[in-house]
Amino acid sequence: ETGVTQSPTHLIKTRGQQVTLRCSSQSGHNTVSWYQQALGQGPQFIFQYYREEENGRGNFPPRFSGLQFPNYSSELNVNALELDDSALYLCASSLIGTRTHEQYFGPGTRLTVT
Partner 1 sequence: AQSVAQPEDQVNVAEGNPLTVKCTYSVSGNPYLFWYVQYPNRGLQFLLKYITGDNLVKGSYGFEAEFNKSQTSFHLKKPSALVSDSALYFCAVRLNFGNEKLTFGTGTRLTIIP
Name the residues that contact partner 1, by CB under 8 A: 2, 4, 6, 31, 33, 35, 40-45, 48, 50, 55-56, 58, 90, 92, 94, 96, 99, 101-108
What separation in angstroms does the CA of 8 have from each of 20, 31, 55, 89, 101? 9, 21, 25, 11, 27
Nearer to partner 1, 84 or 102 (CB): 102
69 contacts 111 by C-beta, under 8 angstroms: no
Nearest CB to partner 1, comparing residues 17 and 98: 98
Angle, vertex CA 60, rays to CA 103 and CA 40, nearest 5: 65
Q: How far is the CB of 23 from partner 1 (least distance, A)?
A: 11
- Rounded CA-CA distance 5/43 in Å is 17
9 versus 80: smaller Cβ distance to partner 1: 9
**What's the closest the beta carbon of residue 81 comes to partner 1, in angstroms?**
22
CB of 92 to partner 1, least distance (A): 8
> Which CB atom, from 24 or from 103, has the smaller least distance to partner 1?
103
CA neighbor of 76 nearest in space, from 13, 19, 26? 19
